[in-house]
Amino acid sequence: MLSALAYESWILHALIWLPLLGTFHVLWAAEDRAKWLALRWSLVVFVLSVGLWWAYDPALGGGYQLTSSLPWIAVWGVNYALGLDGISLFMVLLSTFTTPLAILGSFNYIKKRQKAFYALMLLLEVGVVGVFSAVDLFLFYVFFELTLVPMYFIIGIWGGERRVYAAIKFFLYTAFGSLLMLVGILYIYARGKALLGVTSFAFVDLLQIPLTPQEQMWLFGAFALAFAIKVPIFPFHTWLPDAHVEAPTPGSVVLAAVLLKMGTYGFVRFLLPFFPLAARHPNVVTLMLTLGVIGIIYAAWVAAVQPDAKKLVAYTSVAHMGFVVIGIFALNVNGLQGGLLVMISHGISTGALFLLIGMLYERRHTRLIKEFGGIGRVAPWLATAFVITALVSIGLPGTSGFVGEFLTLLGVFENHPGVGILATSGVIFAAYYMLPMVQSVFFNALEKPENREVRDLSRREVVILAPMIALMIVIGVHPTPLLRRMEPSVQMVLERVYAAAPPSAALIESVQEETVETVERVE
Amino acid sequence: MPEILFFIFAAVAVGGAVGVVVSRSPVASLLFMVATLASTAGIFVLLEAHFLAAIQILVYAGAIMVLFLFVIMLLNLGHDYQRDIRGNVAMIIGFAVTGGIGGLLARQLGGGTAGLETNLGAGDAIDAALREYGAVGAIARPLFTDYVVAFELTGLLLLVAIVGAIALAKKAS
Amino acid sequence: MLAESLVLAGLIFVIGTLGVIVRRNAVIMFLCIELQLNAVNLTFVAFSRYVGIEGQVFVFFVMAVAAAEAAVGLAIIISIFRHYETVNVDSFTRLKW
Amino acid sequence: MRPFGLLLLQAPGLEDSQAAWEPVLPGLIILLPLLGFAINGALALAAARKSADAVRAGREFDFFGNGRAVTHTLPTWVGPGVLLLAFLLTVVNFVGMLGAELHEPVIRSYWSWITTGDLNIAAAIQLDQLSMVMMMIITGVGFLIHVFSVGYMQNDPGYPRYFAYLNLFIFFMLVLVMGASYPIMFIGWEGVGLCSYLLIGFWFSDEEKASAGKKAFIVNRIGDLGFLLAIFLLYLVFQRVDYAGIFGDAESVFVYGGPVITTVTLFFLLAAVGKSAQIPLHIWLPDAMAGPTPVSALIHAATMVTAGVYLVVRSSVLFALAPLSSAVVAGIGVLTALFAATVALRQQDIKKVLAYSTVSQLGFMFLGVGVGAYTAGIFHLMTHAFFKALLFLGAGAVIHSIQHALHHSNKDWDAQDMRNMGGLRAYMPITWIAMWLATLAIAGIWPFAGFFSKDEIIWMTGAMAGAENAPYAGLYTVYWVLALATAMLTAFYMTRLMVMTFHGRNRTGATGAEHLHEAPKTMWIPLAILATLSVFGGWINVTTDLRESVLGGFGALPMGEWLHHWLEPVTEAAHRVQEAHLGELAHAAPLGGGEVAWGLISTVAALAVVLVTARLLGRKEVPVAVEDAEPTGLSRILFNKWYVDEFYHRWVVDPVLTTSRVLWRIVDTRIIDGAVNLVGNAARAIGWLGSLLQTGQVNTYAFFFTLGVLVILAMIGF
């Protein structure tokens, strides 16, 4: 049925352009209809995107599928080129899944300038879907930067008290990283032109460029810094708690669920295949694993003493992303697959946690843990949803959180047992930060009179949370369909990492000569 | 004869310019300015640009300078002025920079203009146009044919300037 | 006569520039700007003898722009004067960040 | 992939073993409790919503007035009902297996759980003799405790939630014992931990109870770390994680006593120590008594805490290959047994005594599996499930009754403090008799169940000490002595519990005493059944020597060494390894004397302790709790549980919290974020310097403009 509609040919374009259309529609419409319009647009996008699950066929190998390319800036060889592989497939689905829920979750939260807000949410969706489906480095970079703008305004306008500080910090910090990446991109492009004579930003073309180990190291550094800030990896993480605490609930949801994934996605998409020699260099691997493990343990400890529930969850994000990083740099199938699963699982569970904390905030206008207590008595459904989500977050087996962490740790342990043991201790600390918070908020005596007034979940909120919880459990019980779709692409990345050899001087020379010859012939 | 006239006009123009800059009184500056404009108009005539010389006198010296004068009088700046030339440091810097520009210009001109004069002799064409269409027609022809869009835009610009000037100068109600 | 005209124009331009830098009176700064414009007009006219009538056409446009500029500029000066009771530009330092 | 729906069917293919025997709907045994959870969970959510609305309106919702709410009637049937069905199904399978002479486990795979690279974990269950025994205990004892709960939790507003959790617990426990690979077992392993967390904190409005749940979960997670690492290490060695694959090759892959196998088993030991509350991770179990008493019976006595023992027996081959780990297992076991027994001597809370007694008995099981007596470990696990469940349920009935009495006499005394009880045998005769039977069983007095199981463990310890090539022979001798001493302590503290509770003068006061009553039928019938099992349950595994002696009625006991033979297919590999490396076990205890002699000695000694204690304590006048003096000296240390909790608090919890605060306040906020802000502020400072050029004076701008022109001109000119 999908092929009858030529689904493969238009779906990716639709996923990018429909939300953009929606953006304008929302801006055009009346203020009080904005939220419903935005919800409808994002739902349409989500429903359309579901078909990707079947449209993407892992049997065809791990390369890009559903590709299409139009020349954009022909002089520079920039193409508007889209495509999906097993890695980006789930990131796109995660984005289209999260956006409508985040929009639905902001119905009560966003009171002022609704039109602008919902338009920005849709614009954000354009950006993230674009990032994950671009197969042209230039296009990727454009979308990568595009996501900054809506998020900057979402935090800066609808945020909490220190919103401006947080928004600027978020923007400058991440932009700073990506500018270094831009330098790297241009360098690769220039090398491609010089060595191969191709003026192209297409991933497939850039992968052919024989870069020397030194070059790879520098480029790796430039790209890695950009993505490490985005992820964020340990010493670059301080923008995240600030941004999360100040951001409005839907902003936090999208930030945690999708934007952070752009960083780790970049690791898998660029760092490993583009600079394999650097990525598998023992020093680099050691560094990344160390930072990842520090992130896991350090963030867990810092999270445990946070007085603000939202900040706590923000720090847990750092810990989870630490798992992803070590999974990726385990450089084996289990680790990579595990890392990708943690990304998916973290997207859903942390998104849900932020939504839940947002719901608490709407009811009590505070997020300080000590202000709560005994909420389970007056809001049992809310408490149930929260406890389930928290358990997923700490990786209870049978939920999505476990599968990812298990594979990640298994992968790390395979190649680096010592690191594996340290990282596995993260499962203890996950309980150490999460359970006290759950207890202080939902259990204990219902003492404060304000807490007595807290309402339970409304029907709208049930509609938001139910699919998320269902998905967390379904993925936990039966992750194989996901793993099956990711595996060929993951294998391809790994093959590239391990097969790559440093180009000899002779090779570069011969390539260059060939290029010169072809150029001469053409002229 | 034209050479002598040129040097007279040039001397007056430079003298006027210096006067503009050094006069304490704005009115004096203005009058020096008029002298400069008038002598420049004379040089225009020597360069066979009769129409421009005419509107230089009419529009520039006549209208714009009077506008300045009105403003000076309106603001009551005619007397009770204070010394407003900057101090030594500003003077030195100003002289250094302007001297630099002057030096550079001189350096450029030091190469001579003989090449230009021989290679690009458009004077005959202009003379022919002047003979054929008269002083006004010679300049009006390109103005209303090749440059008509720019011309119209200039009109629009003037309109906008008038509106803007009124809006700015009007007393806030 | 080209070379002489150009020297003259350069001289007037430099004097005008110096005026803009050293004078504090806004009206006189304006006059100095007019001086600079005039110098440029002179070069246009001088070159037009060798390049074509377009030089003179350009002068025409410059004059129109100068007129517009003078009108608006003087209006601004009047407007400022109403606030500050002076045309000394040292008093107008609000134009930053 | 096989669709989910087939879970109910007997699924062929997909690595299923081809056995002679076809199990009957094994998947359903797991699914039934899950179904119960779903139904009860839905009811609980509905009920909680109602009660929440009432709380918001400032009152408590009355589920019991004018007819019980449907949310509170349905669980009565659903909760125990699914368990009964599961139990019956287990019995059917058990009978089937009895007749099948099975040598290989029967494996049923349903779908690929995790498939990636060369890792393939199937969602598969394994039926063999060991899992069958465990299933019988879990569903059987579980069912009885569910029935008891109907009476016990009758008037609790959280009634449906309680049954939802309990059903979920059974589900996970079944996953734990039926899983065909370590990761599947781990699902159950953490799942039961979760349920334990939820049930300990069942009355979550009480901060102490909620904290106890949290503590249990976190301490258990420390153990789970070991489990995960053991799985990883096994995967590294075998490239697979299912039992069939690992155990089949273990003997050929591992070197006896080699470092890898020792590490694996020590990791597993960490997991077992956490789950079974052994030293040093025993601290959570006494606190876990905060949960409803039937929960303590089911989870914290009969089933979940024994998962550690199950793990060791399941991995018996691995442990047999690692003599050092086995010795550590036994050492931890016997130390825990002794330690917990000493603490139990001086506890006043009836449930605390039982909790420490559980820890102690678990120690015995560890000792058993540590000395290679895997069958004995499982045997003691089973008999312990009977009598300890009975003791807890009995205690529950007592507490229920005392609570009632205190409530009516308006005393806010602790209903669990034995000093407030006394003389209950007159009011609760059935409970009294049942609990005495259980006490005799746990004290190890012939012919009750505990005698046979405990005696076998002690005997095997002695036998190990004297084995031909016994490693650490001296150590095992010490173990043997300690175990004997602990057995005597057990007899003492249990008798103390019985005397303080049921004998002497009633201390609830006259008004209170009027309201003391025997437990209702739903509560005492399970007690009676468990009492029967506590008496006769030990007869299924009487060693041949004992059976032929006076202790076995000279062969009159019907089923000697039955359990031993039954579990042989599971443990034979381990026994093979032991035989090969340890040689023949001793036939005499370290001090000489055969099994029969020591059996006689121990039962007589225990009986003597019971009688003397009963006589001495029976005469003593016990003051009620509020009037009692603070304990002093050694008994103070024992009362405070050797200050282990305080030790952990001082040296582990506090330092971690302090470090966390330092990391946050200093490292994160000051140093890391400080550096980030420093960069930002530096940029801002440079900008400020630049802004100084912007004076607001037109002349300056004109000057710079001209300067710019000059520069451009210069660039063109030169």
Chain D partners within 8 Å of B94 (Cβ): 703
Which of the four pLDDT bands, split at 50, 70 and 90, describes residue A146?
very high
Report pLDDT for D1: 40
Report the C-alpha gap between A6 and A2 in whole angstroms: 7
Report pLDDT for D640: 81
Report pLDDT for D4: 46
Could you read off the pLDDT of D433-452 as tens digits, one per residue?
A: 999 999 999 888 888 888 88
Could you read off the pLDDT of A237-289 as tens digits, one per residue?
A: 989 999 999 999 999 999 999 999 999 999 999 999 999 999 889 999 999 99
Which of the four pLDDT bands, split at 50, 70 and 90, describes residue D404?
confident
Q: Is the pLDDT of residue A520 over 80?
A: no
**Per the CB < 8 Å rule, is B168 touching C75?**
yes
Give the lowest-confidence range in B41-50, C87-96, D683-692.
C87-96
C29 close contact with D: CB closer than 8 A? yes
Could you read off the pLDDT of A150-204 as tens digits, one per residue?
A: 999 999 999 888 899 999 999 988 888 889 899 999 999 988 888 888 888 888 8
Residue of D nearest to A377 (CA): D52
Report pLDDT for D6: 44
Which of the four pLDDT bands, split at 50, 70 and 90, describes residue D8?
very low
Report pLDDT for D16: 52
Radius of gyration over every alpha carbon of chain D, rounded to an integer in angstroms: 31
Q: Is the pLDDT of residue D9 over 50?
A: no
Report pLDDT for D696: 75
**Per the CB < 8 Å rule, is B17 touching C16?**
yes
Model ipTM value: 0.80
Give the lowest-confidence range in A516-520, B56-60, D525-529.
A516-520
Which of the four pLDDT bands, split at 50, 70 and 90, describes residue D567?
confident
CA nearest D292: which of D168, D170, D414, D203? Answer: D203
Chain D partners within 8 Å of A452 (Cβ): 55-56, 58
Q: Is residue C43 part of a domain?
A: yes
Q: Where are the domains of chain D?
A: 1-180, 215-639, 651-717
Q: Is the pLDDT of residue C97 over 70?
A: no
Report pLDDT for A91: 93
| 3-state percent breakdown (helix, strand, coil) of chain C, nearest 5 | 85, 5, 15
Could you read off the pLDDT of A28-84 as tens digits, one per residue?
A: 988 888 889 999 999 999 999 999 998 888 888 888 988 888 889 888 889 999 999
- Partner residue opposite B100 with nearest CB, options D699, D703, D710: D710
Report pLDDT for C1: 74
Mean pLDDT of D61-85: 86
Q: Is residue C97 part of a domain?
A: no
Report pLDDT for B43: 92
Distance from CA of C97 to the nearest CA of B (A): 23
Q: What is the mean pLDDT of chain D?
A: 86
The end-to-end CA distance of chain D, in Å, is 79
Contact D542, D560 (CB under 8 A): yes
Q: For CA atoms A28, A32, A34, A39, give the dihedral sign.
A: negative
Number of domains making up chain C: 1
D252 close contact with C: CB closer than 8 A? no
Report pLDDT for B80: 56
**Per the CB < 8 Å rule, is D699 touching C20?**
yes
Q: Is the pLDDT of residue D333 over 50?
A: yes
Q: What is the mean pLDDT of chain A?
A: 89
Q: What is the pTM of this model?
A: 0.85
Which of the four pLDDT bands, split at 50, 70 and 90, describes residue A328?
very high
Mean pLDDT of D104-128: 87
Q: Is the pLDDT of residue D695 over 80?
A: no
Contact D476, D330 (CB under 8 A): yes
Distance from CA of C41 to the nearest CA of B (A): 9
Report the C-alpha gap between A167 and A323 in whole angstroms: 26
Could you read off the pLDDT of A488-503 as tens digits, one per residue?
A: 999 999 998 888 877 7
Chain C partners within 8 Å of D698 (Cβ): 26, 29, 89, 92, 95
Q: Is residue C81 part of a domain?
A: yes
Q: Which residues of A175-207 are buried (b: 16+ CB within 10 A; e: fewer)?
A: eebbebbbebbeebbebbbebbbbebbbbebbe
- Partner residue opposite C67 with nearest CB, options B49, B95, B158: B158
**Per the CB < 8 Å rule, is D660 touching A384?**
no
Could you read off the pLDDT of C54-80 as tens digits, one per residue?
A: 888 999 999 999 999 889 999 988 888
Mean pLDDT of D222-251: 89
Report the C-alpha gap between A299 and D668 in whole angstroms: 9
**Per the CB < 8 Å rule, is B104 touching D714?**
yes
**Per the CB < 8 Å rule, is B165 touching C69?**
no
Q: Is the pLDDT of residue D609 over 80?
A: yes
Q: Which amino acid is at B153?
A: L
Report the C-alpha gap between D202 and B43 in whole angstroms: 105
Which of the four pLDDT bands, split at 50, 70 and 90, describes residue D13?
very low
Nearest 5°: CA angle at D377, between D371 and D380? 135
Is D touching C (3+ C-beta pairs, cut-off 8 A)? yes
Report pLDDT for A411: 92
**Per the CB < 8 Å rule, is C17 touching D697?**
no
Query: Which of B57, B59, B91, B98 is the best residue to mutate to test the C interface, defined by the most C CB atoms within 10 Å of its own CB?
Result: B98
Nearest 5°: CA angle at D528, between D526 and D533? 95
Which of the four pLDDT bands, split at 50, 70 and 90, describes residue A519?
low
Chain B partners within 8 Å of D717 (Cβ): 104, 107-108
Q: Is the pLDDT of residue D195 over 60?
A: yes
Instruction: Encode D112-129 in three state secondary structure.
Output: EEEEECCEEEEEEEEECH
Residue D438: enclosing H or E segment and its boundaries? helix D429-443
CB atoms within 10 A of CB C50: 18
Residue of C nearest to B15 (CA): C12
Report pLDDT for D10: 43
Output D558 or D96, whichever has higher pLDDT. D96
Report the C-alpha gap between D153 and D293 in whole angstroms: 10
- Partner residue opposite C56 with nearest CB, options B52, B67, B77: B52
Which subunits sit against D, judged by 3+ Cβ pairs under 8 A?
Answer: A, B, C
Maximum distance among all Cα pairs of chain D, rounded to whole angstroms? 124
Rounded to the nearest 10 degrees, what angle do helices A459-477 and A86-105 cross at? 160
Could you read off the pLDDT of D346-375 as tens digits, one per residue?
A: 888 888 999 999 999 999 999 999 888 888
Residue of D nearest to C95 (CA): D696
Report pLDDT for D5: 44
Report pLDDT for D56: 85
* Percent of chain A predicted with pLDDT > 70: 97
The top-scoring range by mean pLDDT among A393-407, D12-26, D46-60 is: A393-407
CB atoms within 10 A of CB B156: 10
Structure tokens at C53: 């009538």
Report pLDDT for B114: 58
Which of the four pLDDT bands, split at 50, 70 and 90, describes residue D12?
very low
Which of the four pLDDT bands, split at 50, 70 and 90, describes residue A99?
very high
Distance from CA of C32 to the nearest CA of D (A): 12
Residue A83: enclosing H or E segment and its boundaries? strand A78-84
Which of the four pLDDT bands, split at 50, 70 and 90, describes residue B117?
low
Chain B partners within 8 Å of C7 (Cβ): 106, 109
- Partner residue opposite B101 with nearest CB, options D699, D703, D709: D709
Residue of B nearest to C59 (CA): B52
Give the lowest-confidence range in A398-412, D123-137, D575-589.
D575-589
**Per the CB < 8 Å rule, is C63 touching B86?**
no
Structure tokens at B64: 């714009």
Could you read off the pLDDT of D471-504 as tens digits, one per residue?
A: 888 888 889 889 989 988 999 899 998 888 888 8
Q: Is residue C86 part of a domain?
A: yes
Report pLDDT for C96: 67
Report pLDDT for B111: 64
Distance from CA of A318 to the nearest CA of D (A): 13
Could you read off the pLDDT of C19-40 as tens digits, one per residue?
A: 988 888 888 888 999 999 999 9
**Per the CB < 8 Å rule, is C15 touching B18?**
yes
Which subunits sit against B, judged by 3+ Cβ pairs under 8 A?
Answer: C, D
Find the domain containing C76 and state its range.
2-91
Mean pLDDT of D85-114: 87
For residue A502, give every residue at least 6 positions away whose Cβ sits within 8 Å of its Cβ, in sequence order, or none.
Answer: A212, A213, A277
**Per the CB < 8 Å rule, is B101 touching D707?**
no
Q: Is the pLDDT of residue A516 over 90?
A: no
**Per the CB < 8 Å rule, is C20 touching D702?**
yes
Report the C-alpha gap between D105 and D245 in whole angstroms: 12
Q: Is the pLDDT of residue D590 over 80?
A: no
Chain A partners within 8 Å of D113 (Cβ): 477-480
CATH number at residue C16: 1.10.287.3510
The top-scoring range by mean pLDDT among A47-56, B99-108, B115-124, D116-125 is: A47-56
D694 close contact with C: CB closer than 8 A? yes
Nearest 5°: CA angle at D390, between D386 and D395? 155
Residue of B nearest to C71 (CA): B165
